[in-house]
């Protein structure tokens, strides 16, 4: 007599025979890594040319052999009356170091101040529905779409009429104002994801708007601040047009000093211009390497969500 347990026991499937051919998953993964390596090579090609050229003495720099390694490395003795690759870096550092210090004084305050003002704007526009709030937000966003070239002439005229100095202080004010629209957009969209119950709880406890912003909202705003600070720091550091019109060689940022170095090296020393380009780009590169994962996290947390 056979007693049924009510459970159908099916035999385990036999493993697929090994045919020696790679699976579709393996082929797809291999193709993905091959494409990534190709993209990496394409992206790093200009960096390779910059580094190699900066290590060549002036007499060995030739556009026809720009892909080749240095004939004499910087640590090798130079020819009589010649120079080494280290001289390129020394010349670039002497020319750019004062401007690099001035640019730090510009980029860091501009990033922090515009981010904080954008956070306050975003909080008000996302949680305080005053009359015509959407219109105000639209007018603020309109500043993002005004090209630099369109406002340069009236901006220079206003600077002249107000008697503002040509230097870092004027550039700081301009970058703070021009960075407010993007910072406001990022924080407004970020704050819409904060639960309204937190605001209601702070209101029940007797906290006003400023107290709620300082005690509840700001501690939750780190991802948004990372995004805006990186964005604004990079924009201020790499800016050239504002620096060209609103500053001068003695008081300008590193982008203006690098342009003058490159113009002076067109007939003499390409290596120093390449070394200067690497020195000028190093701070932004370090910022992205150190804070890159937090930048991606801020984006994914909804800071630029529409």
d(CA 306, CA 302): 8
- Residue matched to tokens 């393996």: 26
In the chain, what are the domain boundaries? 86-303
Least confident of 32-36, 72-76, 115-119, 157-161: 72-76
Close Cβ partners of 99 (under 8 Å, ≥ 6 residues apart): 252, 253, 254, 256, 257, 258
d(CA 136, CA 184): 11
Q: Does domain 86-303 have CATH number 1.10.3720.10?
A: yes
Distance of CA 137 to the CA centre of its chain: 25
Per-residue 3-state assignment (H helix, E strand, C coil) for 218-245: HHHCHHHHHHHHHHHHHHHHHCCHHHHH
Question: Which helix (H) or strand (E) is 204 found in, with range?
Answer: helix 196-204
d(CA 261, CA 103): 16
Question: Which helix (H) or strand (E) is 47 found in, with range?
Answer: helix 24-54
Q: Are 163 and 243 within 8 A, CB to CB?
A: no
- pTM, to two decimals: 0.79
**CB burial class (10 A; 0-12, 13-18, 19+) of residue 221?**
buried
Least confident of 140-144, 171-175, 216-220, 298-302: 298-302
SS3 content of the chain, % helix, strand, coil (to 5): 70, 0, 30
Each residue's pLDDT tens digit, 257-295: 888 887 754 455 778 888 889 999 999 988 888 877 777
d(CA 175, CA 179): 6
Phi, psi angles (nearest 5°) of residue 49: -65, -40
Each residue's pLDDT tens digit, 149-191: 888 888 999 989 988 888 899 999 999 999 999 999 889 888 8
Alpha-carbon torsion angle 297, 299, 303, 306, nearest 10: -150
């Amino acid at each position: 007599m056979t007693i049924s347990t009510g459970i159908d026991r099916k035999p385990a499937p036999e493993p697929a025979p090994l045919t020696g051919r790679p699976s579709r998953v393996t082929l797809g993964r291999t193709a993905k890594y091959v494409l990534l390596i190709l993209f990496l090579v394409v992206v790093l090609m200009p960096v390779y040319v910059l580094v190699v050229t900066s290590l060549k003495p002036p007499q060995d720099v030739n556009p026809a052999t720009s892909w080749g390694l240095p004939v004499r490395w910087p640590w090798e003795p130079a020819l009589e009356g010649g120079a080494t690759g280290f001289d390129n870096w020394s010349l670039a550092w002497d020319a750019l170091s004062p401007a690099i210090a001035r640019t730090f004084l510009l980029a860091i305050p501009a990033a922090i101040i515009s981010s904080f003002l954008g956070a306050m704007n975003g909080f008000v526009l996302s949680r305080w529905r005053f009359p015509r709030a959407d219109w105000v937000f639209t007018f603020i966003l309109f500043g993002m779409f005004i090209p630099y070239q369109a406002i340069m002439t009236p901006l220079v005229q206003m600077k002249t009429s107000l008697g503002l100095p040509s230097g870092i202080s004027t550039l700081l004010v301009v970058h703070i104002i021009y960075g407010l629209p993007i910072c406001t957009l990022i924080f407004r969209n970020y704050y819409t994801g904060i639960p309204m119950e937190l605001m209601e709880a702070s209101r029940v406890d007797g906290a006003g708007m400023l107290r709620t912003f300082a005690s509840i909202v700001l501690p939750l705003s780190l991802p948004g601040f990372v995004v805006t600070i990186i964005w604004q720091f990079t924009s201020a550091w790499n800016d050239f047009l504002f620096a060209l019109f609103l500053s001068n060689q003695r008081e300008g940022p590193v982008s203006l000093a690098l342009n003058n170095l490159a113009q002076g090296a067109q007939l003499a020393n390409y290596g120093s211009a390449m070394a200067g380009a690497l020195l000028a780009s190093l701070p932004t590169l370090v910022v992205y390497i150190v804070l890159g994962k937090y930048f991606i996290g801020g984006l994914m947390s909804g800071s630029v969500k529409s």
